[in-house]
Amino acid sequence: MTRLSVNINKIATLRNARGGNTPNVCEAAINCERFGAEGITVHPRPDERHIRYQDVRDLKPLVTTEFNIEGYPNREFINLVLEVIPDQVTLVPDPPEALTSNAGWDTVENKDFLINIIKEFHDAGIRTSIFVDTNLTNIEGAIATGTDRIELYTEPYATNYPKDKEAAISAFVSAAKRAGELGLAINAGHDLSLENLNYFYQNITNLAEVSIGHALISDALYFGLENTIQMYRRCLK
Ligand SMILES: CC(=O)[C@@H](O)[C@H](O)COP(=O)(O)O
Ligand SMILES: NCC(=O)COP(=O)(O)O
């Protein structure tokens, strides 16, 4: 079974546009779960342009499925995660000014850095995942960090899918196979959509979880949140 974790960053983007509390991020999370989401993902960024640190604190007692916090592990982020104790933390190597995530970790170069942070999260009982591309050196490097999971950065797959889906998935199949051999569980995310999700799911057999935000929240404008979540869940069958 592959879990669908709904990333609610874009709900916060809309809320922040007017400075009030509409739409309400906490209500949205509760409803996502009611409509079939099997997890809630948030990615607080240093400028708090969408999810705010306080949102993360407010969400923790409300999320009843799986709470996944993503972000670059600076000390402020690490302290927030250790305060909130989510089910999973996903470490992403984004510089503060990044528009969105656009690369995975160089797990060889950052080995010692990641080992120390992952240990800190493990000591607090938090499952870890690290964002990586399909480069096999980075997949093999991930095991040395002690992480429980990797999250495959799927933007290149999403970009290439409309041109040639077999070519687009190929590196992901190899990466997932190698990760499986090493005993790493696999998550995936970034730019997954109703168009490309089912093919990804069909080809990556050992996929534990996908986190989807931008396309899913956009689709909800047309199809409604409940219907959209069900549509995405049907792509994972
Ligand atoms: C790690 C990842 O791919 C997602 O967290 C994605 O970057 C969403 O972040 P934004 O909503 O800030 O684009
Ligand atoms: N980890 C990926 C994520 O949470 C959502 O990415 P996107 O669907 O907003 O591109």
Q: What stretch of H or E contains 136?
A: helix 136-145
pLDDT > 70: percent of the chain:
100
Q: Which neighbouring-strand residues pair with 188?
A: 152, 210
The residue whose CB lies within 8 Å of the most ligand 2 atoms, and thus the one to mutate among 212, 219, 229, is 212
Q: Which pTM was predicted? A: 0.98
Q: Which CATH number fits domain 3-234: 3.20.20.70, 3.40.50.980, 3.90.700.10, 3.40.50.620?
A: 3.20.20.70
- 68 burial (CB, 10 Å; 0-12 / 13-18 / 19+) is buried
- Report pLDDT for 96: 87
Ligand nearest to the CA of 232: 2
Give tens-digit pLDDT for 19-70. Answer: 999 999 999 999 999 999 999 999 999 999 999 999 999 999 999 999 999 9
The residue whose CB lies within 8 Å of the most ligand 2 atoms, and thus the one to mutate among 192, 197, 207, 217, is 192
Instruction: Count CB atoms within 10 A of the CB of residue 163.
Output: 8
Expressed in angstroms and rounded, the spacing between residue 93 Cα and the centre of ligand 1 is: 11
Residues with Cβ within 8 Å of residue 61, at least 6 apart in sequence: none
- Report pLDDT for 174: 98
Complex ipTM > 0.90: yes
Closest atom of ligand 1 to CA, residue 45: 12
Give tens-digit pLDDT for 64-108. Answer: 999 999 999 999 999 999 999 999 999 999 988 899 999 999 999
